[in-house]
Amino acid sequence: MSNSSDTNSQYSATSQEVQVMDEDDIRRALTRIAHEILERNHGAKDVALVGILTRGAPLAERLALQIQKIEGVEVPVGKLDIGLYRDDYAANPAGRPSLVASAINFDVTAKNVVLVDEVLFTGRTVRAAISALLDLGRPASIQLAILLDRGHRELPIRPDYVGKNIPTGRHEHVNVHLQETDGEDIATIRKEKV
């Protein structure tokens, strides 16, 4: 559920889905995160953004554009496929993970790499992304930027930059739709009937 009483009032007997972020909320959150990245790293020097596929990649691109607007510097941006690094792909009913080519056209060594994803839940996706990233080199640091942190961590992973914290139940689903992948910018929570 959301922290706001407006969001809670959006529940109805027929609807189990609640909007937690709209297009403006997402834009504002990414602008704030871009400023926080620059502040923490004392500018854009040696900063690189790596989006975890699928929706982390367009978020990383948007953050890079914000950083360029603020600082006047282009930071390298890559996208990372973690399919082979997941610890749960054996449980996938389809068998092998579907693989999408990672595209990181810069050396991550000695960079302050900011991993970017849309939702942080158990932490297992981030663990897989860190393993995949370390196979490419040795960054000076790995930081984590998340649009929505929903809690329920199973691993000791904490984001450095958060667009919004949203307390959720384990049986609720957080859905983030982005213009680049889904044709709209919106984040919702859908309660699963138990």
Encoded tokens for 123:
């932490």
> Is residue 187 included in any domain, yes or no?
no
pLDDT in tens, 156-169: 999 999 999 999 99
Number of domains observed in the structure of the chain: 1
Q: Is the pLDDT of residue 7 over 50?
A: no
Nearest to residue 128, comparing CAs of 187, 183, 81?
A: 81
With helix as H, strand as E and coil as C, how does 101-126 read? CCECCCCCCCCEEEEEEEEECCCHHH
Cα 152 to Cα 184: distance, rounded to the nearest angstrom: 27
> Is residue 65 included in any domain, yes or no?
yes
> Is residue 118 included in any domain, yes or no?
yes
Domain that holds residue 47: 26-86+98-171
What is the band of 100 on the pLDDT scale with cuts at 50, 70, 90? Answer: confident
Q: Is the pLDDT of residue 8 over 90?
A: no
> Is residue 17 included in any domain, yes or no?
no
Look up the CATH number of the domain holding residue 115.
3.40.50.2020
pLDDT in tens, 57-83: 999 999 999 999 999 999 999 999 998
What is the band of 192 on the pLDDT scale with cuts at 50, 70, 90? Answer: low
> Is residue 183 included in any domain, yes or no?
no
> Is residue 191 included in any domain, yes or no?
no
> Is residue 114 included in any domain, yes or no?
yes
> Is residue 1 included in any domain, yes or no?
no
pTM, rounded to two decimals: 0.87
